[in-house]
Amino acid sequence: MREIRRILVPVDFSEPSARAFEDAMALAKTWGAELHLLHCYVTHPQQIELYGISVPETLDHDLRQAALRRLDEWLVKARAEGVAVKPHITARFPGEGIAALAEELNVDLIVMSTRGLSGVKHLLLGSVTERTLRLAPCPVWVVPSADRS
């Protein structure tokens, strides 16, 4: 079995991603691995501009800062559990952003939930988990959602 030194956990701040985060912390403690938390925030200013609405220049900055504040809450929890953790944030689409960071950091395992905030998007675009499974350069540990519906 390969050594697990770095674990990537994509989080969207939903309950399912919180469960994946809990599993990832347990695995990190067991293996002495470093945890990397990733939040992908996506803005679509081009789509908004189609309707004649101007997008504030600070939108990306404000979204990024809000996401970092939310991510910090999760970092505090991991550190309180004695887990070495590093934050990451990107404006890339989640499936691509997750795979790219996993490759960049040479992570050994991705731990993620089967469902997050995407809801109906799953029917239209395919789930982030499915896309990640196709693109990931390493094994993916998938934590099922509670409702499994």
The reported pLDDT for the residue numbered 121 is: 47
User: Does residue 148 form part of some domain?
Assistant: no
Q: What rounded mean pLDDT belongs to the chain?
A: 85
Q: Kindly state the tokens that stand for 129.
A: 């988990």
> What count of residues does the chain have?
149
User: Does residue 12 form part of some domain?
Assistant: yes
- What sign does the dihedral 6-128-95-135 (CA atoms) show? positive
User: Does residue 1 form part of some domain?
Assistant: no
- Helix/strand/coil for 4: coil
User: Does residue 115 form part of some domain?
Assistant: yes
Contact of 108 with 78, CB cutoff 8 Å: no
* pLDDT tens digits for range 83-133: 999 999 998 888 899 999 999 999 999 999 886 545 444 444 448 888 888
Distance CA 7, CA 56 (A): 36
Q: Total domain count for the chain?
A: 1
CATH of the domain at 78: 3.40.50.620
The reported pLDDT for the residue numbered 48 is: 65
User: Does residue 66 form part of some domain?
Assistant: yes
Distance CA 18, CA 116 (A): 9
Q: What are phi and psi of 3, to 5 degrees?
A: -75, 135
pLDDT band at 1 (very low <50, low <70, confident <90, very high): low
* pLDDT tens digits for range 105-116: 999 999 998 865
* pLDDT tens digits for range 52-74: 776 677 877 888 899 999 999 99
Amino acid (one-letter) located at 66: A
User: Does residue 123 form part of some domain?
Assistant: yes
User: Does residue 149 form part of some domain?
Assistant: no
Range(s) of the domain holding residue 60: 6-143
DSSP designation for 43: -
